[in-house]
Structure 1
Amino acid sequence: MPLLPAPTAAQLRRDPLPLRGRTALVTGASRRSGIGYAVARRLAALGASVYLHHHVPHDAAMPWGADRIEEVVAGVREARADPAALVAEGPGDLADPAVPAELVHRAAAALGGRLDILVANHALSGSDGSLATIDAAALDAHWAVDARSVILLVQAYARLRAVLPPRTPGGRVVMMTSGQDHDGGMPGELAYSLQKGALASVTGSLAATLAPDAVTVNTVNPGPVDTDYCTGDDYERIAAMSPAGRWGMPDDPARLIAWLATDEAEWITGQVIDSEGGFAR
């Protein structure tokens, strides 16, 4: 196979809107202090049309509460760089095995019939328990939301991409893992860390499966991110474990994820990437 020619000077100049004309589904984008919202804004700022998935009952039951979806959508629309780009939203309880495929098709329909980028950012929150306290219900609940739904989302996405012309550019899948594989692990959140570890483990297999359709698959570990869930002494203790002396902010992993969605990242696939600012456990 001949080598690809070196890029021209014009090709080396960055397009200010590298995602113009591309479409994206971002799950778990229901709070303005969350990673999903930051990712959606970054994608919109690069020119993409974006569909925001949310499950308000989950956030409403948490200490941080739920935002008004209208305000979330308005914030993403405000970040649009392409006035023609669409921003749409819709609910979905991803614990229901029928919802992932329905969500993918609903997002594609809202964005003009095609879906290029899938960012599976959602997760079931809450400290699920240690080895001494974990039970089957918690294990099953985290499996359904944190792992099973992601695989079903990718499956539905892949089926949509498969009907496009061969090697249509722009296919991207980004999943989210956590710090379960690093020193110290997550002994108080066994169900959560188990399912997040499953996504990290399956990244290479999904990347190999979707490579013939020119779709990259990567997984991001954002490390500790300040999404308003931690306060007090615990907050300060975690901040002190970073060389920068601070938590990650939602836009820190969002910048990486948005870049992975561009053509500049087309040669990166099957990777689990830490975006932790040197966080030391």
Structure 2
Amino acid sequence: MSDLSGRTALVTGASRGIGQAIASRLAAQGATVVVHFGTDEDGAAATVDEIERAGGTALAVRAELGVDDDVETLFAGVEAGLAGRPLDILVNNAAAAPAGPLGATTRAEFDRLFAVNVRAPYFIVQRALPLLRDGGRIITISSVATRMANPAQTSFAMTKGAVETMSMTLANELGVRGITVNAVAPGATRTATNGAVFEAPGLVELIAATTALDRLGGPGDVADVVAFLASDAARWITGQVIDASGGLFLGPRT
């Protein structure tokens, strides 16, 4: 396990699911973690409590993303929590869920998707750069939706394609500072909050049958990849989209 002792991390959307797992994993490796949440205060408190009970250090910061002044609200809390310390790791995990197929998506849903999934991470990076030390890490959570045609997730996939492009171009811009910028693309990942989705008869079996590693993913599977990219071991990886789907839809298995 790579050592992140003495480093600081901001993980957006860390009150539950994949974000919670990422925050806990980075803290377990020694980082002080700022746990961002939008509305789930209890979930954020539970994340901080879990980290502290395991011997780590964390603090929660509330800021609703996708609204006016969201980034300034977030960083007012981040800077107060860091108390003058630089930021070492930024994980853009918070995202709005798919809004549905083309025929059903409203303008308001479309605008919210882009406000939360694209505008917020873009300006979070912009705001974080003066705090981010040379040699730091920027990691954004994307999705395998960018490499497959799913009519129910067209607008969502568009937002994730945007942050993948952002990661590649920022990697080229920020490399002179030794900052690596990458994206991680999970596939079907069962969490405590979306578990009901996978209760549909036959769905788990269908997904497993189209996944090379023959199972659903869990939050820890994605958190491990993020923790690796945050570590010194990943110092020579930048501008990449790391597929963390277990090999979802790679092709026929028989």
The normalised TM-score by structure 1 is 0.81
Whole-angstrom CA distance in 2 between matches of 1:189 and 1:67: 29
Q: Is the 8 A contact 1:121 1:175 kept in 2?
A: yes
The equivalences for 1:61-80 within 5 A come to 67-80=42-55
Say if 1:17 and 1:47, in contact at 8 Å, map to a contact too.
no
Residue type of the alignment partner of 1:246? R
Identity of aligned residues (%): 37
SS of alignment partner, residue 180 of structure 2: strand
1:17–1:189: structure 2 CA closer, same or farther, 3 Å change rule? closer
1:120 matched to 2:92: yes
Q: Which amino acid aligns with 1:45?
A: A
- Aligned-partner residue type, residue 122 of structure 2: I
Query: What SS is found at the alignment partner of 1:226?
Result: coil
Query: Given that residues 179 and 186 in structure 1 are in contact (C-alpha distance below 8 angstroms), is that contact kept between their aligned partners in structure 2?
Result: no
Alignment of 1:265-276 (within 5 A): 265-276=234-245
Of Structure 1 and Structure 2, which has the larger fraction of its residues in strand? 2
**Which of residues 237, 249, 253 in structure 2 aligns to 1:280?**
249
Q: Identify if the C-alpha distance between structure 1 residues 96 and 36 changes in structure 2 by more than 3 Å, giving closer, same or farther.
A: same
Matches of 2:111 and 2:32 in 1, distance apart? 34
Match of 1:195 in 2: 159
| Contact 1:50–1:87 (CA under 8 A) maintained in structure 2 | yes
List alignment gaps of at least 5 residues for structure 2: none
- Pairwise mapping of residues 82-93 of structure 1 onto structure 2 (< 5 A)? 86-93=57-64
| Higher helix proportion | 2
1:108-138 residue CA offsets vs partner (Å, 9 max, x unmatched): 331232211000001112x412122223212
Output aligned runs, 1:31-50, within 5 Å: 31=16, 34-50=17-33
User: Contact (CA 8 Å) 2:62, 2:77: kept in 1 or not?
Assistant: no
Residue in structure 2 matching 1:53, options 33, 36, 57: 36
Instruction: Provide the TM-score with structure 2 as the length reference.
Output: 0.89
AA in 2 matched with 1:266: R
**1:109 aligned residue:** 80
Using the alignment, how far apart are the partners of 1:21 and 1:268 within structure 2? 22
Letter in 2 for 1:18: D
Whole-angstrom CA distance in 1 between matches of 2:240 and 2:153: 24
Aligned residues, how many? 244
State the distance in 2 between where 1:236 and 1:78 align: 36
One of 157, 164, 171 as aligned partner of 1:207: 171
Equivalences for 1:24-35 in 2 at 5 Å?
Answer: 24-31=9-16, 34-35=17-18
Unaligned regions of 5+ residues in structure 1, if any? 1-15, 58-65
Q: Give me the whole-angstrom Cα distance separating, in 1, the residues matched to 2:150 and 2:82.
A: 38
Query: Which is greater in Rg?
Result: 1
Runs of 4+ in 1 over 6 A off after TM superposition: none
Task: Note the C-alpha offset of 1:67.
Answer: 4.8
